[in-house]
Amino acid sequence: MRILHFFKTYLPDSVGGIEQVINQLCRSGEAHGIENEVLTLSANPEPAVVEVDGHRVHRARLDLQLASTGFSYSVLPRFRALAARADIINFHFPWPFMDLVHFASGVRKPMVVTYHSDIVRQRHLLKLYQPLMHGFLGRADRIVTASPNYLATSEVLRRYPDKTEVIPYGLDKAGYPQPDAGRLQHWRQRVGEGFFLFVGVMRYYKGLHILLEAAQGTGYPLVVVGAGPLEQQLKAQATALGLEGHVRFLGRVSEEDKVALLQLSRAIVFPSHMRSEAFGISLLEGAMYGKPMISSEIGTGTSYINANGKTGLVVPPSDSLAFRGAMRWVWENPGAAAEMGRQAEARYEELFTAETMGRRWADLYRELLVEKSFAKQKGRSI
């Protein structure tokens, strides 16, 4: 079975949450006889085809970036050629240019839309895009979202209840590097242990300004891993709030270093305050390593990963005082917080492994092909 994944960015050029999900889908599908390929855009598409973790990645040149939407003049013929040999096309939403490519190509292969997020920020442009968006989603054979929380709160998904399914994202812990004793000691000497940890790209919806406000006056050690467009602004805020003594910005780190920091941390802090944060892969990584979590209730998959009072604490969004109170509780109740971490790891094992995700996706793909085959045979017999 051949699956073509189509999204605007992918490894090795970009390492965001959706890219990680597509990567896990491709890797976990191998055990089920699925051959995955990815078509994406790249500012530097040479070579045009690369191999990432055992699957091919086809890169068309990115010609224009407008309102977070990448455009490419050369991707249409590439899409037609790759779609012709695929059994199913898995589109990764949102990306309005992808909808245009689908209709312009004339390709009529079975199609699945992985619905990663509503369009949150470009509300005015959304009004113009809605006819195309609903035409595209209406054409899909299946729509898949990652949590029942998102399905229940998305105005868009509520229009497609009969063909929308929930398959949570999954991670393969065995695929993460295990830091050696020397690496752990390096970070123990540099940042200590038992700190609050944030991992992620410094984007507008991550709520890091709320986290810094929550940390003010507490003295709690906080480690921030990642970079992004708000990095300098956030460092300036930390200085203005007098946080230099206990808040450390580490920038980007390797996967091995990230795992070391996860293991040394006391809890994961995840202050995302907007629905653009549809799931939270970094939050799930914390659960995978048995850490209690603090997050905000934004009606998305973050509260599916972090079950309030069981695996961590969930507070109102954009409320730095509530977030500070949750940090204080974790700090002052280490035994109860550690038990939440154990519950978080158990929940990961139950719901969020890559093996479970791969099996459920393989079942969906096969069911769709059987359904299409049956419909085709029925049409011939009439």
Report whether 260 contacts 150 (CB < 8 A). Answer: no
Q: How much is the average pLDDT of 339-352? A: 98
Segment 252-284, tens digit of pLDDT? 999 999 999 999 999 999 999 999 899 999 999
Q: How many DSSP H helices and E strands does the chain contain?
A: 14, 16
**What backbone torsions phi and psi does residue 10 show, to the nearest 5 degrees?**
-165, 170
CA dihedral 105, 111, 115, 120 (to 10 degrees): 30
With CA atoms as reference, report the closest residue to 259 among 358, 191, 178, 195.
178
Superfamily covering domain 173-350 = Glycogen Phosphorylase B; (3.40.50.2000)
CA-CA distances (angstroms) from residue 289 to 20, 33, 286?
Answer: 17, 29, 5
Buried residues in 248-280 as b, exposed as e (16+ CB within 10 A): bbbeebeeebbbbbbbbbbbbbbbbbbbbbbbb
Both tokens of residue 184?
């752990």
pTM, 2 dp: 0.92
Give just the sign of the alpha carbon dihedral 108, 56, 47, 99.
Answer: positive
Both tokens of residue 174?
């065995």
Domains 2-172+354-381 and 173-350 share a fold: yes
Question: What angle, rounded to 10 degrees, do the helices at 96-105 and 75-84 form?
Answer: 60
- Listed range (55-69, 164-178, 365-379) with the worst mean pLDDT: 365-379
CATH topology of domain 2-172+354-381: Rossmann fold (3.40.50)
* 3-class SS of residue 92: strand
* 3-class SS of residue 196: strand
Tracing tokens 């994202």 back to the chain, one arrives at: 169
Segment 101-147, tens digit of pLDDT? 999 999 999 999 999 999 887 666 778 899 999 999 999 999 999 99
Q: Where does the chain have alpha helices with state H?
A: 17-29, 75-84, 96-105, 123-139, 148-153, 181-191, 208-215, 231-240, 255-264, 281-288, 302-305, 320-332, 334-351, 354-381
Segment 145-167, tens digit of pLDDT? 999 999 999 999 999 999 999 99
With CA atoms as reference, report the closest residue to 285 among 170, 116, 130.
170
The pLDDT of residue 382 is: 53
Tracing tokens 């055990």 back to the chain, one arrives at: 31
Domain range list for the chain? 2-172+354-381, 173-350
Residue 88 bridge partners (DSSP): 3
Residue 381's pLDDT band (cuts 50, 70, 90)? low
Report the alpha-carbon distance of residue 14 to residue 106 in Å, rounded: 29
Concatenating the DSSP letter of every residue in 235-266 gives HHHHHHTT-TTTEEEEES--HHHHHHHHHH-S
Segment 171-187, tens digit of pLDDT? 999 999 999 999 999 99
